Amino acid sequence: MIHLPLTIKETQEGLKEKKFKATELVKEYIARIKKYDKGLNSFLTVSEEVAFETASKVDQALENSGEDAFGKYPLLGVAIAHKDLFLTKGVRTTAGSKVLESFVPSYSATVVDRLEKAGSILIGKTNCDAWAHGASGENSDFGPTKNPWKRQYVPGGSSSGSAASLAANFSLITTGTDTGGSVRQPANFCGVVGFKPTYGAVSRYGVVAMASSLDSVGHFGRCVDDVRRIFEVTRGEDGLDGTVKNSKFEKPKSKLKIGIPKEYFIEGLHKEVEKAVLQAAQVFKNENIELVDISLPHTKYAISVYYIVQPAEVSSNLGRYDGIRYGNDRNSFGDEAKRRIMLGTYVLSAGYYDAYYLKAMKVRSKIVADFEEAFEKVDAIIAPVSPSPPFKLGEKSSNPLQMYLADVLTVAGNLAGIPGLAIPGGFSKKALPLGFQLLGPRFSEGTLFHLGELYQKAVNYVPKVAF
pLDDT digits (tens, 9 = 90+) for 82-134: 999 999 999 999 999 999 999 999 999 999 999 999 999 999 999 999 999 99
Q: What are phi and psi of 393, to 5 degrees?
A: -55, 130
**Taking residues 268-276, what's their average pLDDT?**
96
pLDDT of residue 406: 83
Residue 341 pLDDT > 80: yes
What's the count of helices (H) and strands (E) in the chain, helices before strands? 15, 11
Residue 157 pLDDT > 80: yes
Residues designated as active site:
83, 158, 182
CATH no., domain 8-248+257-299+364-458: 3.90.1300.10
The structural domains of the chain, with segments of one domain joined by +, span: 8-248+257-299+364-458
Query: How far is Cα 268 from Cα 279, in angstroms, rounded to an integer?
Result: 19
Segment of 175-189, 309-323, 343-357 carrying the highest mean pLDDT: 175-189
Query: Three-class SS of residue 238?
Result: coil
Q: Residue 393 carries which DSSP code?
A: T
Question: Helix 8-16 and helix 48-65: axis angle, to 10°?
Answer: 50
Residue 327 pLDDT > 70: no
pLDDT of residue 325: 65
pLDDT of residue 352: 84
Closest to 259 in 3D by CA, of 423, 386, 377: 377
Whether the bond between 398 and the residue before it is cis, its omega within 30 degrees of 0, is no
Query: How far is Cα 258 from Cα 382, in angstroms, rounded to an integer?
Result: 7
**Taking residues 267-293, what's their average pLDDT?**
97
Start-to-end C-alpha separation, the chain: 16
Give the confidence band of 397 by pLDDT, cuts at 50, 70, 90: confident
Query: How far is Cα 249 from Cα 38, in angstroms, rounded to an integer?
Result: 41
Query: How far is Cα 349 from Cα 247, in angstroms, rounded to an integer?
Result: 38
Residue that wins the pLDDT comparison between 397 and 317: 317
- Residue pair 140/397 in contact (Cβ under 8 Å)? The answer is no
Closest to 131 in 3D by CA, of 305, 306, 303, 320: 320
pLDDT in tens, 226-259: 999 999 999 999 999 999 999 888 888 889 999 9
Closest to 139 in 3D by CA, of 268, 259, 314: 314
**Taking residues 370-388, what's their average pLDDT?**
98
**Taking residues 457-463, what's their average pLDDT?**
97
Query: How far is Cα 113 from Cα 96, in angstroms, rounded to an integer?
Result: 21
- Residue pair 58/100 in contact (Cβ under 8 Å)? The answer is no
pLDDT of residue 324: 60
Query: How far is Cα 445 from Cα 451, in angstroms, rounded to an integer?
Result: 10
pLDDT of residue 326: 65
Count of C-beta atoms within a 10 Å radius of residue 248: 7
pLDDT of residue 96: 97
Residue 266 pLDDT > 90: no
Residue that wins the pLDDT comparison between 325 and 259: 259
Residue 402 pLDDT > 80: no
- Across the strands, what pairs with 217? 177
Count of C-beta atoms within a 10 Å radius of residue 465: 18
